[in-house]
Structure 1
């Protein structure tokens, strides 16, 4: 009899699958609740408007800047530090009657007049509301289409029970990640959409490695319960999973801590996605396939009759 691992080397992951399912349901429920109440803090890429980045010689007083802008009729402006205490980012909703460049000069003059300090214009961006709506729609469709394509690919390569587990794991990762963004009200821009698609690819790669080993062991073992075979397969690939996740996390943590404000959201999404994706490869994708009744017969290659076999059987 073929044995995957010695009993003392095999971890019983499926033993905790029920608890993991409860944890996932609770976290997803919290994420959906946050999305239904707070929604997402859409960035300029999606809402449209004007973004202005200015630099001060001394640490900026944000309250004084807000008061200065409100006195000039810009009470809806969002003012926050950007990278350091001397860098300030101002965001404004679209104004049809004022061009972006003119609006930027008005904001700069209002800040100079209100604070009495020397202020340098660092960057100005303008996005129309129609463009923002199109970008939001395109970003959502990109994620949905990618999940559908993955479902079709895994169904053809493996089996529909494994495909369902893989797609549910990916949806699990995305919902939890954007739920954290909703709860913390982290600004969502195009880089976050790129990070979510990256998380989909990373998590799928890890899941496919586990599924390959599960299929291989189901075909090799003559006996053994499905839970035992899945536990052995995950145990065999565990070192690869942990090493890959750890080395990737080193790079993402460096981006998160040293990359600056421009890619902070991108790094945050990757950091969350890698951690949640590693967990979901074990306790969502594989465990769900087991709940759907995956067994040896589902993964055996189809029997193909040899050409002319019926003639060989004739006397």
Structure 2
């Protein structure tokens, strides 16, 4: 009875232990009462994590953007600097020769350049220039050693530039300028308009008669025994000479050169003395342009004319009758004396 109970208990104990092993996941160890030995399974126990596993953090993939990705500017991109080419050796300057210009600077005349002292083998090129005060420049097509002047250069200053070129040297340029400006050739004075139509002539040319003081002459009547100079501003550059007449009756004063934009007109005592006393008009006309200016002149009576007319004595308050009577009496007394002397002699 005891044995049966013991086995039963033993069996129950074994079943209970097996259940615990299954529930707890532990290895079953046989009881000493059990006849066969149970070898533990050679299984590798899986580690039991003490905490819940956390997945590794993954960076989110950026969503595509509609904005264009800026490209790096050329200045941000490092570039390698090219190695500079070696500089060409500087050539020496060509030794300069000289240039001179000859000829009368008158429209229609030919100017000639002369060069000396340039190294052998030098090639020379020429360029004529003209200057008008603050402006001017090269004369188009004037590239030979000679140049014939035209009206376009009138009142300008001519120059010649010569450039020398020779292999192995840098080119050299020298220049020569004429001191005398170019003038038009003087022409015979043009025929003066008739005094009867002078006023119409001046009106048609839109000319206003200026006072004589505008020409640097004194105000009032000019003394016909003195000489004066009228100074006229003349800005028409095509004119080298002007013709001058004085009216009432047209009398040629002369043709005079335009110098630096002005004309000087001499009014001699002989000219003024030959004019009747009173108002006159000085008419100036450009030989090339035909432009006209006019200046008033007032001439005092001539001393010779005043004596002839007795006007000079009248101006002083003296009478011409007394002197003439006295002269007649003296003449008669002289005649009487001559007659008496002849009688005495006889």
Establish whether TM, by shorter chain, passes 0.5: no
Please give the TM-score of this superposition, normalised by the length of structure 1.
Answer: 0.24
Bigger helix share: 1
Bigger strand share: 2
Which structure carries more relative contact order (alpha carbon 8 Å, separation 6+)?
Answer: 1
Higher Rg: 2
